[in-house]
Homo-oligomer: A and B are copies of this chain.
Amino acid sequence: MPRAVVLLSGGLDSYTAAALTQREGFELYALSINYGQRHAMELHAARAVGRALAVTRHVQIDLDLSRFGGSALTADIEVPKDRSLDDSSIPVTYVPARNTIFLSLALGWAEVVGASHIVLGVNALDYSGYPDCRPDFVRAFERLATFATRAGVEGHAFTVSTPLIDMTKAAIIAIGASMGLDYGITRSCYDPATDGRPCEHCDSCRLRARGFAEAGVRDPLLR
């Protein structure tokens, strides 16, 4: 069985991307990063997703990116609320080099366990405008991986698989619902209340709400 390292954030995109990869016949190695995010409760959701998918192994790595700051998710900067979803500028929730760092960690683990695939649940349509969610970024990382590793030198290329890259949030939710995924175990909010309730006004909550509405599916988190 081929192996894939999947980055699980606890959100619905990475859950769906992992489930699609599993359906293609991959054995899943799940990786989650505790990076000092203000919404660290997403890590509980990530573990629930790992259990729901019965992944072979789930590793959580602690890496305190708040030491660098520079983002509303890791520093004392307010998370924007009710921002236009058509605003194409890069918002302050962007975490500098986050996906580069996460893919690098996934690459290291993939080489150790002999996984040829790294799965990232990014999509370039209904997303927050982050540069490191775009296809050009993904292709550049794949190219880097062949130079960066022993496996690459020996001719084993790494594929960074982004099964959701061209899907709308509604399409992702419709596919996940058709596969029976329980989105009630996921978390998307950047700025949840201390009791875990989503704020419903950050970009991530609003993209999620619009996706469920367009898919005609009820969000099990909001009952």
Contacts and interface: CB of A to CB of B under 8 A. Distances in A.
B96 A108 contact: yes
A90 B50 CA distance: 34
Contact of A96 (B61, B96, B112, B137): B112
A205 B191 CA distance: 50
A72 to B, nearest CB: 13
A109 B152 contact: no
B59 A96 contact: no
A87 to B, nearest CB: 14
Contacts of A145: 100
Given A147-B134, A147-B136, A148-B132, A104 B97 contact: yes
Q: Which of A62, A65, A104, A141 has the most CB of B within 10 A?
A: A104
B104 A101 contact: yes
A148 B94 contact: no
Contacts of A61: 63-64, 67
Given A61-B63, A108-B65, A137 B148 contact: yes
A162 interface: no
Interface string A148-187: 1110110000000000000000000000000000000000
A134 B64 CA distance: 29
State the oligomeric state as a number of copies. 2
A108 B105 CA distance: 14
Contacts of A132: 147-149
Interface of A: 59, 61-65, 67-70, 90, 94-101, 103-105, 107-109, 111-112, 131-132, 134, 136-137, 140-141, 143-145, 147-150, 152-153
13 contacts: A62-B63, A68-B108, A70-B112, A96-B108, A96-B149, A100-B107, A101-B108, A131-B148, A137-B144, A140-B147, A140-B148, A141-B144, A143-B144
